[in-house]
């Protein structure tokens, strides 16, 4: 399919990549990729994890030099590949990794490496703070320029980061998952702002896993797969299904493919009675039954993860009662939680769930070393057998049990974390953003895995920001807002009373229902 944009010839090309390749040793992260972004357009860059999106962004930003191919910015070739050169060319980037220094103030970060100076040539932090204040005011963002970035919430940090890029007189703005940490209101503000920048002729390259956002904000999209260019097309020519098809390729493994089995409710395994944490959550009443998956929706800061932390003994429980299998328990620390049959797959699996340099075997067996040991010596044979069993059971794709966790894809890393917990034979699983940063294919596999766990009689809590994921995995969905449970709805109530044939459309309908519920919950706060 060819690029079909009637307006294209009139618009200046802000940035053009021609035949760009990037190899790391034998790995071709990018292979002969072309990309054109016009001034005054929002261009979505789509693809699974590992498709080459991050590599393109790093090439554009001068972090990587391309192995082959050329980059032109406003018609002039970009020959020097350093962050400084990219900056001079007017390319500004919002990084997924958060490019802010926590120990500096907001204003100091915004003007980092671009500092305002007084007549003596010394840094003038007062003027910088004043200008930051003005910038925030125009954006309608309420952040104190003198606050330390380390003291900000994730959402405020993201906004600071965007303002930082914008303050650099950027002509080409690159946004990498800019909304992951934003609340609904903040997303709206961001979109309004992006549209304003667009009307001023800024070229915006927008990377996101959230298709609803892409569909709303983007003018055109370029889709990558396995380092190759698949298609560039205007959004009007693309539907969600088509996008997913291009992204995933022929192996269509979208959410819609996961068969949802209505769980047979067993006995209540986990009961919360008026459970409150230090600040959040607040008086939570919730019962989770054996064989059931309960999804927890809520925007950032709604107390979803805080609830998981209290349950697992990381944050102290201030009041209320936790019952497991009908018996009240005291959970003062994670060891207690594990002893009572709880398992937590944390949000940040790279830092909290895995030792990346260690092998799959070591990572998955760390939780059960006592069982694998004779006296104080770990039995290699038993550890290997246990690892192989989990690799097979969870279909973990790895070259061997000895491969470092680092070499696995995001989805398979997540499976290793789940394997680690499965080994402890827990009754209750808490999964916080189990598919965060995982590509669509692996998402479906993880969801299937979670459903399997439920079918084996476990009680499962899934916290997720992705509504389609919650709708696919859960039997019941709790919406949290401001630390409280705002609503509790059976999954079936989200279904279209008059269902169409298209599974994807059915899911979209349900997603709209849940999204509305979520928005309502937050407006009542």
Partner 1 sequence: MSNATVTATPSASSFANWRQYIPYLGFVLIFVFFSATLFNKGFLDPNNLLNILRQTAMISIMTVGMTYVLAAGEIDLSIGMVAGLASLVVAVGMDWYGPIVGVLAGVAVGCIVGLINGVLTTRVGIPSFLTTLAMMGIARGTAMWMTQTKSVPILDDAYIWTFGGGSLGPVPVLVIWTIAVAVVGHVVLRRTIFGRRVLATGGSETAARYSGVDTRAIKMRVLIISSVLAALAGMLYAGRLHSGRFQLGEGDELSVIAAAVLGGTSLFGGTGSVVGSIVGSLMIGVINNGLLLMGLEYSQQLIARGAIIIVAVAISQSRKQ
Q: Kindly list the residues in this chain that would bind partner 1 in the complex (CB under 8 A).
A: 61, 63, 83-84, 87, 93, 95, 97-105, 108-109, 112-113, 115, 118, 121-127, 129, 144, 146-148, 151
Residue 195 to residues 115, 171, 191, 472, 493, Cα–Cα distance (Å): 28, 14, 6, 32, 36
Cβ proximity to partner 1: between 88 and 397 the closer is 88
Which ranges of 410-461 would DSSP assign to H, the alpha helix?
Answer: 410-422, 440-455
> Judging by beta carbons within 10 Å of its beta carbon (0-12, 13-18, 19+), is residue 485 exposed, middle or buried?
buried
Cβ proximity to partner 1: between 81 and 389 the closer is 81
Cβ proximity to partner 1: between 83 and 334 the closer is 83
Please provide the distance, in angstroms rounded to a whole number, between the alpha carbons at the two ends of the chain. 47
Looking from the CA of 48 toward its CB, the CA atoms found within 13 Å total: 26
Cβ proximity to partner 1: between 116 and 300 the closer is 116
Cβ proximity to partner 1: between 93 and 207 the closer is 93
Query: Is the Cα dihedral 139, 140, 142, 146 positive or negative?
Result: positive
Cβ proximity to partner 1: between 125 and 347 the closer is 125
Supply the minimum distance, in Å, between the C-beta of residue 309 and partner 1.
Answer: 17
Instruction: Show the CA angle centred on residue 318, arms to residues 313 and 319, nearest 5°.
Output: 110
Query: Is the Cα dihedral 102, 103, 104, 105 positive or negative?
Result: positive
Residue 367 to residues 292, 360, 386, 491, Cα–Cα distance (Å): 25, 13, 12, 33
Under DSSP, the state recorded for 117 is B
Cα distance between residue 384 and residue 503, in whole Å = 41
Cβ proximity to partner 1: between 124 and 384 the closer is 124
Nearest to 449 by CA among 467, 431, 424: 431
Supply the minimum distance, in Å, between the C-beta of residue 242 and partner 1.
Answer: 34
Supply the minimum distance, in Å, between the C-beta of residue 159 and partner 1.
Answer: 16
Phi, psi of 234 (to 5 degrees): -70, 150
Supply the minimum distance, in Å, between the C-beta of residue 132 and partner 1.
Answer: 12
Supply the minimum distance, in Å, between the C-beta of residue 143 and partner 1.
Answer: 12
Cα distance between residue 363 and residue 377, in whole Å = 17
Cβ proximity to partner 1: between 11 and 133 the closer is 133
Supply the minimum distance, in Å, between the C-beta of residue 161 and partner 1.
Answer: 9
Pairing of strands 484-490, 476-481: antiparallel
Supply the minimum distance, in Å, between the C-beta of residue 131 and partner 1.
Answer: 13
Supply the minimum distance, in Å, between the C-beta of residue 82 and partner 1.
Answer: 8
Preceding omega of 274 cis (within 30 degrees of 0) = no
CA dihedral 62, 65, 68, 69 (to 10 degrees): 10
Supply the minimum distance, in Å, between the C-beta of residue 111 and partner 1.
Answer: 9
Cβ proximity to partner 1: between 57 and 307 the closer is 57
Supply the minimum distance, in Å, between the C-beta of residue 177 and partner 1.
Answer: 15
Cβ proximity to partner 1: between 119 and 199 the closer is 119
What token pair was written down for 260? 């949802």
Under DSSP, the state recorded for 493 is G
Cβ proximity to partner 1: between 95 and 206 the closer is 95
What token pair was written down for 174? 């690159």
What token pair was written down for 9? 């010839």
Supply the minimum distance, in Å, between the C-beta of residue 45 and partner 1.
Answer: 18
- The neighbouring-strand residues paired with 221 are 44, 233
């Amino acid at each position: 399919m060819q690029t079909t944009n009637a307006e294209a010839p009139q618009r200046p090309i802000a940035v053009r990549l021609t035949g760009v390749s990037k190899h790391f040793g034998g790995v071709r992260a990018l292979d002969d990729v072309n990309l054109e972004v016009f001034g005054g357009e929002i261009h979505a860059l789509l693809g699974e994890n590992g498709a080459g999106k991050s590599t393109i962004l790093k090439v554009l930003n001068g972090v990587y030099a391309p192995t082959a191919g050329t980059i032109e910015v406003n018609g002039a070739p970009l020959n020097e590949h350093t962050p400084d050169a990219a900056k001079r060319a007017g390319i500004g980037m919002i990084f997924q990794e958060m490019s802010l220094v926590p120990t500096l103030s907001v204003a100091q970060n915004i003007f980092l490496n671009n500092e305002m100076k007084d007549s003596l040539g010394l840094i003038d932090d007062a003027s910088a703070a004043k200008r930051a204040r003005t910038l925030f005011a125009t954006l309608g963002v309420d952040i104190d320029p003198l606050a330390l970035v380390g003291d900000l919430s994730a959402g405020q940090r993201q906004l600071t980061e965007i303002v930082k890029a914008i303050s650099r007189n950027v002509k080409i703005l690159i946004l990498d998952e800019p909304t992951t940490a934003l609340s609904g209101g903040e997303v709206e503000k961001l979109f309004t702002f992006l549209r304003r920048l667009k009307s001023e002729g800024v070229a915006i390259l927008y990377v996101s896993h959230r298709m609803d956002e892409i569909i709303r904000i983007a003018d055109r999209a370029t889709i990558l797969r396995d380092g190759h260019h698949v298609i560039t097309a205007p959004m009007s020519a693309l539907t969600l299904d088509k996008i997913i098809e291009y992204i995933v390729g022929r192996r269509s493994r979208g959410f819609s493919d996961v068969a949802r089995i209505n769980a047979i409710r067993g006995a209540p395994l986990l009961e919360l009675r008026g459970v409150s944490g230090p600040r959040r959550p607040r008086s939570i009443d919730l019962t989770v039954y054996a064989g059931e998956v309960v999804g927890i929706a809520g925007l950032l800061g709604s107390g979803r993860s805080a609830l998981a932390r209290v349950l697992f003994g990381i944050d102290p429980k201030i009041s209320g009662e936790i019952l497991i299998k009908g018996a009240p328990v005291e959970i003062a620390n994670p060891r207690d939680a594990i002893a009572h049959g709880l398992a937590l797959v944390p949000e940040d699996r790279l830092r909290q769930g895995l030792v990346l340099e260690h092998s799959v075997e070591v990572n998955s067996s760390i939780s059960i070393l006592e069982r694998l040991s004779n006296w104080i010596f770990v039995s290699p044979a038993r550890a290997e057998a246990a690892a192989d069993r989990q690799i097979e059971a969870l279909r973990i794709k790895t070259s061997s049990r000895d491969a470092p966790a680092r070499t696995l894809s995001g989805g398979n890393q997540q499976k290793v974390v789940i394997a680690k917990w499965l080994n402890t034979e827990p009754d209750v699983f808490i999964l916080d953003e189990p598919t965060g940063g995982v590509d669509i294919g692996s998402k479906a596999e993880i969801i299937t895995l979670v459903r399997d766990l439920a079918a084996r009689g476990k009680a499962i809590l899934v916290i997720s920001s992705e509504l389609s994921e919650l709708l696919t995995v859960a039997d019941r969905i709790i919406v949290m807002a401001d630390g409280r449970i705002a609503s509790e709805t059976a999954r079936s109530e989200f279904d279209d009373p008059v269902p169409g044939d298209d599974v994807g459309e059915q899911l979209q309908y349900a997603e709209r229902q849940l999204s509305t519920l979520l928005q309502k919950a937050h407006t009542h706060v």
